[in-house]
Structure 1
Amino acid sequence: MDSITIGIILAVLMLSLLAFGFWVSLSLMTVALVGVILYGSETYGLIFASSAWSSSTSWSLAALPLFIWMGEILFRTRLASDLFKGLTPWLGALPGRLLHVNILSCGLFAAVSGSSAATAATVGKMTLPELRARGYNERMSIATLAGSGTLGFLIPPSIILIVYGVAAEVSIARLFIAGALPGLLLIVLFMAYTMIWSWLNKGGVDNSPDVRHSWKERLVALRYLLPVLGLIGFVLGSIYGGFATTTEAAAVGVTGALILALLSGGLNRQTFFDSLMGAVRTSCMIALILVAAHFLTVAMAFLGIPRMLVGMIDALELSPMMLLVYLTILFIILGCFLDGISVVLLSTSIMLPMVAAAGIDLLWFGIYIVLVIEMAQITPPVGFNLFVLQSLTGKNILYVARAALPFFLLIGLAIVLISWFPEIVTALPAQMSR
């Protein structure tokens, strides 16, 4: 059989396994195994063992469980409550007022969590009841949280950027700093839209005078923000300043998170055990998918499918921009049915050769794909943030998806902006490498 026929067989097998509810990792392994057998190799056991070893022994990968554990520890502290208290006095004069707490709290928590779902859940538990009690429009409250919760994927330290960096062999430290400006861009877009919406819908926000605060109250409230800002600055500053590797900074982050949890009274034997087991479960899930995706990459290479795809793209004579348009549509469709990490690993397994052949910077592509996955996080039927908000609010998932639609479009606008102005992504890493 030729490569095209084998590729079609494997694609149908993959879709069938996922449709029947198989684990993503087992689906990838099965497809890879079938691919190696179709290639005619009888040493698939040895091929799997060697690919599993090479994909799981990268030193950079050690940062992954540490950052996950840091997020799990802080998830069980009163960090979200402190963020709310610290930000509220500063936002009383902005149109939209406390709706901006959702956006900024998610941005700050994302910088210590690295997880989109954890960001949306932690901040939402604190802010949604308060916004409801103050009479804010419920749909807009849900929308700001759904959109801003996706920042957990982009703002460093991001778990998904670590996974991409290991799989694509791109510097994780450079990926982290590349995600900083796009993350700030999204926050600005979200806040600007919220202000415009508030001007047009004055009845949807709390307009009572008691939400205004004096400068003294604002300065006093900063004490609630100092712990998390200090942890963010220490972890990311050690990476960007060249004082620590990503893995070393992750270890420092875990230590800082444990100290914060202890000082806040949120650390005891049970929360310590729960955070550790939560980190183990998530890390094992990601590691299994990573091993399976690498096995699939090896199988695809044996079969010549990446080379065939590159040839097909070359024959179509697509410009890099048109290729990105098609990939964006494809990734959004994949994101409707798969979690973000699976989409990243599938793309690195199959599509990176054609992306590299098109002359697209793999560092820039990492930020691009994370933004597309952020869009998928608020796209039914398997948008993880939609499930989180459905459980928090009791609303129908389609209601949550419709509420989040403007933020879906804003993330799309951010993708257009970084495509037109790639320096938004590449400027800071270029400064770092000098």
Structure 2
Amino acid sequence: MLAIGISLLLFALIGMGIPLAFALGASGCLGVWLIGGFDPMLAFLTTTPVTTAGTYELMTIPMFVLMAEFVIVSGVAEELFDTIDAWTRHLRGGLGISTVLTGAGFSSICGSSAAAAATLASTAIPQMRRHGYDMKLATGLTAIVGTLSSMIPPANGLIIYGVLSGADLGKLLIAGIIPGMIGVVVLTVTLQVLIRRNPALIRERTDPQPPLWTRIRMLSRVLPMTLLFLVVVGVMYFGIGTPTEASAMGAVGALLITAQRRRLNWTSLYKALRATARISAMITMVITGALLFGYFLTMSQATQTLTTAIGDLPTSRWVIIALLLAIKLLLGCFMDQVALLVLTVPITLPIVVQLGFDPIWYGIVLALTSEIGLVTPPIGLNVYIVGRYAGVPVDGVFRGVFPFMLAMLLYLVVLTAFPAIALWLPGLMQN
């Protein structure tokens, strides 16, 4: 009963607009105080923030965020889009295909969905508008492509899940590669189906494709960032270094590439460091609050009781996992990815593990679930970002993203039914 009351207090605080980190921390501290008294609460409160901030795995986030900030400063997103467009210009819907592939490429060096959506909105949408694309299609595609950052490493959401769950962070990040690539295929196929059903959504391009030598030369401009991604992933995959060490290499590499492009100055360096500090501090505080609340749940034995009760239900484990994912999809309509993870992982992960599911697979499924939430009304963070950058009404973006969201829902069913999609690459790492 106490756990229910404290949980209701938590949601009430969130509903009142209290920042998530403080709502979690206050609710958790109150619960620990009511169960164990003031001294245990004070002891945990004074040690948890320090130990959380010093968590080795958590250092991965500021390094990857810094890498992404340097990549944005370098202007590689615009060059990546222009390069892919030069190679896909002769294809029907080539600009849309370029948007999907650019989103995947940018996601491989930027773990933030919001940053990916904003960058793509300022890069791809003006081109699609100039070439006569339907704006609902253009903005909807851009909004959902930005969500690929939730799965393709270095995905901040996967790192947060790894810290909360204790799963092997290297295997978790590698596990997102194949599902992310399949997500690219799903979005591309959906785009082609929409165009074939309604050719008026796009206008055929009349500008010629650049000569082969020009296109090859354009590839050389994005080669350094491509190599940087391969090095970061390779370091983790082959066990050369930890994800934290790989992230530090990525940040240094992105800094050197940005400097080599003559895009680095004191102002841009300051902005990159400030943005990194702000994002990292926010995530650290939220995780600290989540650990405080999780400690209360452990003391109250609410998690153990719920796990035992659900595990004893006379039904298939697949029915239970389907219900859990349905609840997360519903919550994703009202919460961002970080809130969804910190509020649900401590409660649902023990249930999933007891049912015999792999926690790494569960992390990838959660990433895809949160992807869908980023484009689902009424919150739909990516939809609002793209609508603001494109100057398009939000309801139009929601209508444009709807068919792509349906396709990703079907993909979620497939990924849930076939765990090997996510577990094959991490399984090879074990050997």
Q: 1:339 deviation in Å?
A: 1.7
Is residue 91–residue 100 contact of structure 1 (8 Å, CA) maintained in 2?
yes
Q: 1:54 deviation in Å?
A: 3.7
Give the distance between the partners of 1:184 and 1:289, measured in 2 at CA: 30
Q: 1:40 deviation in Å?
A: 3.9
Tell whether 2:234 aligns with 1:237. Answer: yes
Q: 1:422 deviation in Å?
A: 1.0
Correspondence for 1:114 among 106, 111, 115: 111
Correspondence for 1:384 among 381, 388, 402: 381
Which range moved further: 294-303 or 350-359?
350-359
Q: 1:119 deviation in Å?
A: 0.6
Correspondence for 2:3 among 3, 7, 11: 7
Correspondence for 1:69 among 45, 62, 66: 66
Correspondence for 2:93 among 96, 110, 113: 96
Q: Which runs of 5+ in 1 are unaligned?
A: none
Q: Secondary structure at the match of 2:369?
A: helix
Matching residue of 2:188: 191
Matching residue of 2:272: 275
Correspondence for 1:181 among 164, 178, 181: 178
Matching residue of 1:405: 402
Q: 1:214 deviation in Å?
A: 4.2
Tell whether 2:359 aligns with 1:355. Answer: no
Matching residue of 2:418: 421
Give the distance between the partners of 2:415 and 2:31, measured in 1 at CA: 36
Give the distance between the partners of 1:385 and 1:39, measured in 2 at CA: 41
Give the distance between the partners of 1:67 and 1:422, measured in 2 at CA: 27
Matching residue of 1:60: 57
Q: Deviations over 1:74-123 (max 9, x none)?
A: 12221111011210121123331111111111100001011100011112
Matching residue of 2:261: 264
Q: 1:311 deviation in Å?
A: 2.5
Tell whether 2:31 aligns with 1:41. Answer: no
Q: 1:400 deviation in Å?
A: 1.6
- Residue identity in the other structure for 1:9: G
Give the distance between the partners of 1:287 and 1:318, measured in 2 at CA: 38
Q: 1:266 deviation in Å?
A: 1.7
Which range moved further: 130-139 or 347-356?
347-356
Correspondence for 1:157 among 146, 151, 154: 154
Tell whether 2:214 aligns with 1:224. Answer: no
Matching residue of 2:78: 81
Which range moved further: 146-155 or 312-321?
312-321
Q: Secondary structure at the match of 1:76?
A: helix
Q: Deviations over 1:37-64 (max 9, x none)?
A: 2314222111222333443332111111
Give the distance between the partners of 2:132 and 2:345, measured in 1 at CA: 46
Q: 1:173 deviation in Å?
A: 0.7
Which range moved further: 34-43 or 143-152?
34-43
Question: Superposed, which structure 2 residues align to 1:200-215 within 5 Å?
Answer: 200-215=197-212
Matching residue of 2:166: 169
- Residue identity in the other structure for 1:29: G
Q: Under a length normalisation based on structure 2, what TM-score does the superposition of the two structures give?
A: 0.96
Is residue 66–residue 272 contact of structure 2 (8 Å, CA) maintained in 1?
yes
Give the distance between the partners of 1:328 and 1:361, measured in 2 at CA: 15
Is residue 161–residue 175 contact of structure 1 (8 Å, CA) maintained in 2?
yes
Q: 1:295 deviation in Å?
A: 0.8
Q: Secondary structure at the match of 2:74?
A: coil
Question: Superposed, which structure 2 residues align to 1:336-347 within 5 Å?
Answer: 336-347=333-344
Tell whether 2:250 aligns with 1:253. Answer: yes
Q: 1:211 deviation in Å?
A: 4.5
Which range moved further: 36-45 or 272-281?
36-45
Cα RMSD (Å): 1.5
Q: 1:215 deviation in Å?
A: 3.2
- Residue identity in the other structure for 1:417: V
Q: Deviations over 1:364-387 (max 9, x none)?
A: 001010110001111123222122
> Identity percentage over the alignment?
29
Is residue 104–residue 145 contact of structure 2 (8 Å, CA) maintained in 1?
yes
Give the distance between the partners of 1:265 and 1:236, measured in 2 at CA: 26
Q: Which runs of 5+ in 2 are unaligned?
A: none
Q: Deviations over 1:258-310 (max 9, x none)?
A: 11211222211000000000000000000000101011111100001101211
Q: 1:213 deviation in Å?
A: 4.3
- Residue identity in the other structure for 1:239: M
Q: Under a length normalisation based on structure 1, what TM-score does the superposition of the two structures give?
A: 0.95
Q: Deviations over 1:309-342 (max 9, x none)?
A: 1122134334221122211222122222222012
Q: Deviations over 1:139-174 (max 9, x none)?
A: 111111111100111101111111111111111110
Q: Secondary structure at the match of 1:136?
A: coil
Correspondence for 1:17 among 13, 19, 24: 13
Give the distance between the partners of 1:143 and 1:227, measured in 2 at CA: 30
Correspondence for 2:47 among 50, 59, 63: 50
Give the distance between the partners of 1:79 and 1:422, measured in 2 at CA: 34
